[in-house]
Structure 1
Amino acid sequence: MHNNHEVWLEVALNGAAGRAYQPLIPISASEIISQGIDCAHAGASVIHLHVYDDAGQPSENVDQYRRVIEGIKEKVDIIVYPTIALTGTAEQRYSPIEALAKYGLLDWGVVDPGSVNITHRSQIESGEEGLLYNNPDSHIQHGLKLAERDNWRPAYAIYEPGFLRSGAAFAQTVRLADPPVYRLMFSDNLLFGCKPTIHALDFYAQVIADELGNDADWMISGLDAHIQHLIAPALAMGAHIRVGLEDAPFGTLETNVQLVEGAANLIEQSGYSIVAPEPYYNGDRGPKVCERDR
């Protein structure tokens, strides 16, 4: 049990599904910047975001990322990190990450340690093809080598239990500024991993203890999922928390700010304090090497 740990509260502002699935997500740069700032004031200590082009389609445009990240950081001192492209070569997928690191705008970055079918229950019922989220070993290694070189912290999405094991093994092949953040993914209607139940949370917590030890940084999140009922027990197990419209059930009528405020209240009512994780990228200092990676 971790009754006194300080909690990171991450907000995932939008995702790539678009407004057809999540009508209230911010899409324009000004919307993303405004909601990011408002969420930071509401209690978020980390922001994850995607960017969109002028036609409202998901984009990996570096200038757009730079605009929104700088716009948020200009007003609030907070970690803001982008996604990676779903497809392409390793170099193509991580090209925006490399550019943002050069600009000094990258504290965390996405490295997902495995591949998974992301299929909605309704797609199976209608015969529609789901998404194969493909992360070959070479792509995982490429992302981690960039994290080592450019001094940013990997954020792992754990869709399946095996991602914990492979992610830990891959992390041992590089000298990171600090170990990855392991983010458990639960879903009610997307048929990967586990539904957001106490039994599933207990199972994952035991795997984390067995594979990573008691010092691992991990958090709970969802994708088309309600996870509020898991927040209190997860906190008692040592977890951090992520909420936001990228993760919430499709068609959610709450705003990002309301989701952050609700989670912040639950964290505080459970007797924990929300803190900001230390930024890892800093062009004025050398890379910090974690003792566990020596």
Structure 2
Amino acid sequence: MSMHSAAMGATTLITVAPTGAESAKSDVPALPVTLDELVQTAKECEAAGAAVIHVHIRDADARPTLDPSRLRDTVQALRESTNLIIQLSTGGAVTDPYKDRLAVLDAQPDMCSLTCGTVNFGADVFMNPWPFMVELYERTQAMEIVPEFELFDLGHIAALHRLLDKYGLPSGGHVHCDLVMGVPGGMPGDTRTLTTAVEVLPPDSTWSATGIGRTSVPVLFAALSAGGHLRVGMEDTITFAKGQPATSNAQLVERATQAATLAQRPPMSSTDARLLLGIAG
């Protein structure tokens, strides 16, 4: 474990989630929705300090899609133009059927998200029943894709323990989690909740945290102070500050880099992140 603790202690893994499935391009002009926009965003965010990109894609009308050929093209384009670790969302939009969400893995990303339970998401329900979690997890193991366990609530952490107890460690042997905080219906984005969640994570796991909307800055500071990693991006917040829309994803990554550097844990390189996460060369 020394390699993990060394990498984790000195540096911060920054993940950028640039697009998501919730915001409309018409409402958020800076949102990257085309492949060209996504590649440009990825390059800017890598230069700003990101090591992982969490990817949702859009169709020709800028609507969320899980189209298999578009996903493959996206993974290939990001691989060719950056050294970022490519993490595809298996959440898609709340309306996507399970079979389409499982098929995301066929695009052969380095990582994928694996949400550990159902959560109320504003007025919608983001469905992740146990049999779906198990099927997705076993597929990641068979295909050697590293999952990032998305945790929106404390019950999701209990489900993660259950998954690991029954089905063993993920591909690469290392457990990495992301605390998604401040979703209306999930756990709140505050320090007290973050420390409670971190205390019950699996031993030897690493974790990042992201705050949705106005919780983004408090969660960023809470995560850094607790020794965690960061996820930022326009999937999670479309404002930089009150009354100030984010101008780009790079702007949000730059702030995370500045905060991590102030905390004396500057951004981790994608090479070190691959070692930490157990991603094969």
TM-score range, shorter-chain basis? 0.7 to 0.9
- 2:147 pairs with 1:148: no
Which runs of structure 1 show a deviation greater than 4 angstroms over 4 or more consecutive aligned residues?
Answer: 279-282
- 2:201 pairs with 1:201: no
For residue 126 of structure 2, what is the aligned residue in structure 1? 133
Q: Deviations over 1:189-233 (max 9, x none)?
A: x4223332222222222233xxx12x2111110222332233344
Q: Deviations over 1:172-198 (max 9, x none)?
A: 3334223442111112xx422333222
- 2:120 pairs with 1:117: yes
Contact 2:148-2:178 at 8 Å conserved across structures? yes
Contact 1:245-1:256 at 8 Å conserved across structures? yes
CA apart distance, 1:268: 0.6
How many angstroms apart in 1 are the aligned matches of 2:29 and 2:160?
Answer: 33
How many angstroms apart in 2 are the aligned matches of 1:89 and 1:51?
Answer: 16
For residue 100 of structure 1, what is the aligned residue in structure 2? 107
Q: Deviations over 1:55-87 (max 9, x none)?
A: 111111122122222222212211012112334
CA apart distance, 1:139: 0.5
SS at match of 1:225: helix
CA apart distance, 1:238: 2.2
Contact 1:186-1:196 at 8 Å conserved across structures? yes
Counterpart selection for 1:16 from 12, 21, 24 = 21
Aligned residues: 262
How many angstroms apart in 2 are the aligned matches of 1:228 and 1:66?
Answer: 33
Identity fraction in percent: 20
Q: What is the one-letter code of the residue matched to 2:48? A: A
How many angstroms apart in 1 are the aligned matches of 2:238 and 2:132?
Answer: 29
- 2:219 pairs with 1:244: no
How many angstroms apart in 1 are the aligned matches of 2:164 and 2:31?
Answer: 33
CA apart distance, 1:240: 0.7
TM-score by length of 2: 0.85
How many angstroms apart in 1 are the aligned matches of 2:116 and 2:197?
Answer: 16
How many angstroms apart in 2 are the aligned matches of 1:133 and 1:268?
Answer: 35
How many angstroms apart in 2 are the aligned matches of 1:79 and 1:107?
Answer: 6
Say which is worse superposed, 63-72 or 2-11, in terms of deviation: 2-11
TM-score by length of 1: 0.81
For residue 154 of structure 2, what is the aligned residue in structure 1? 161
Largest Rg, 1 or 2: 1
How many angstroms apart in 2 are the aligned matches of 1:160 and 1:111?
Answer: 14
Change (3 A) 1:229 1:108: same
Contact 1:48-1:80 at 8 Å conserved across structures? yes
How many angstroms apart in 2 are the aligned matches of 1:150 and 1:21?
Answer: 37
How many angstroms apart in 1 are the aligned matches of 2:185 and 2:28?
Answer: 20
Say which is worse superposed, 231-240 or 57-66, in terms of deviation: 231-240
Change (3 A) 1:281 1:220: closer
Contact 2:42-2:82 at 8 Å conserved across structures? no
- 2:47 pairs with 1:38: no
**Which runs of 5 or more structure 1 residues have no equivalent in the other structure?**
120-129, 285-294
Change (3 A) 1:161 1:73: same
SS at match of 1:184: strand
CA apart distance, 1:117: 1.0
What RMSD in Å do the two structures reach over aligned CA positions?
2.3
SS at match of 2:215: coil
Map residues 245-284 of structure 1 onto 2, 5 A cutoff.
245-249=234-238, 252-275=245-268, 276=270, 277-278=273-274, 280=278, 282=280
- 2:96 pairs with 1:91: no
For residue 289 of structure 1, what is the aligned residue in structure 2? none
For residue 12 of structure 2, what is the aligned residue in structure 1? 7
SS at match of 2:148: strand
CA apart distance, 1:274: 1.7
